[in-house]
Amino acid sequence: MNRIVLLLTALSALFILSCATAGGGDDAPVAGPGKMLESSPAAKPEWLSITGYAQKGGNWYFVGESSKSRTEEDARAKALLNGLAQISSQFGVKVSSELVSKEQESNGNYSYDIGVKNKLTGAPIRIKDYKLDGSYIEKWDRGAVEFDAKVLVKVPDEEIARIRKEIDALCGWAVLTPRPELMGDAMRLMKEFAQVKKFNLKPDADPVADNYTIETLADKAADSAFFLVLKVKPAEPKNVDGEWYADVAVEAEYISLTENKVIKPYSGSARGAAYTDKDAVKNGFLKAFDEIMAQ
């Protein structure tokens, strides 16, 4: 009888011990080596379940994380860098730890270099428009107090589209001239010019009015980060002793549609001579374009 009582007592103790170790409770959660002391906020946010990215309401959401920092501020800053690195990975850019560099913008935020340069200008491509939309901090005792952090980074659709366009570096283009007979040569030379300058020119030109603005160009070429406009301005040909002369000015503007500015202007001018007025204009145009090609 005593042996049965002892056996039941032992089984009961084993059952109580197993329940205690399996439950753990929220009062003293343990994850790996160490003990979590507290978290802020106390309840885990739903966004911690995001893997990769999530899209909602015209925004992209990325979760960055860090661990074993000495201060809460350091943990949050490292998690933000990790979140921005998650953004860069969407464009085929892998960042092992920190992003390449950062610069303070006029709005007080920092823009982050994602580690790739614009194919045309050589300028670093940056993440400029983002918001730290949430954070979750855990305070741990791992022999010393350490902080782990996860942050939610929100980026508008427009910013993702801008970065993607800059990476693709697609360039819209147009030719403006009052002389229709020059259009064929002008379009051919534009493609040669783009090859020399390594512009990623679209296959077809866009129709553009003489009074264009950068905003109207951006509407015409919504898929492009850049635009190249060629303007041919021939003077009225003159006949002197049976030979025709024409002064031709040529201007080109290489425009960033994402930065809303002219990156580089080109210009050339030349006098053409021939036995017909049209040939004189064409001759002057070809000479003027040679000047642009050399710039």
DSSP code, position 30:
-
- Please give the pLDDT value at position 93: 56
129 half-sphere exposure, CB direction, 13 A CA radius:
12
pLDDT of residue 125: 72
Mind spelling out the 3-state secondary structure of 206-270? CCCCCCCCHHHHHHHCCCCCEEEEEEEEECCCEEECCEEEEEEEEEEEEEECCCCEEEEEEEEEE
Res. 58: pLDDT tops 70: yes
Residue 276 has pLDDT above 50, yes or no: yes
- Tell me how far apart the alpha carbons of residues 4 and 263 are, in angstroms, rounded to a whole number: 92
Which is more confident, 246 or 100? 246
pTM of the model: 0.60
Q: How far is CA 160 from its chain centroid? A: 6
pLDDT score at 121: 59
What band does 147 get if pLDDT is binned at 50, 70 and 90? very high
Per-residue pLDDT at 99 exceeds 60: no
Task: Note the pLDDT of residue 7.
Answer: 34
pLDDT at 117: 63
- Indicate if the pLDDT at residue 149 is higher than 90: yes
Of 125 and 204, the one with more pLDDT: 204
pLDDT at 15 over 90: no
Count of Cβ atoms closer than 10 Å to residue 64 Cβ? 22
Read off the pLDDT of residues 36-46 as tens digits, 9 standing for 90 and up. 999 999 999 99
Residue 236 backbone phi and psi in degrees, to 5? -65, 125
Q: Which residues, 6 or more positions from 191, have their beta carbon under 8 angstroms from its beta carbon?
A: 201
Tell me the average pLDDT across 116-123: 60
| Mean pLDDT, residues 264-268 taken together | 96
Report the residue count for the chain.
Answer: 295
Structural domains present in the chain: 25-166 (no CATH), 169-293 (3.40.50.10610)
Tokens of 272: 């053409």
Question: Is 186:234 a contact under the CB 8 Å cutoff?
Answer: no
More confident residue, 32 or 242: 242
For residue 115, what pLDDT is reported?
62
The pLDDT value recorded for residue 165 is 80
d(CA 142, CA 67): 12
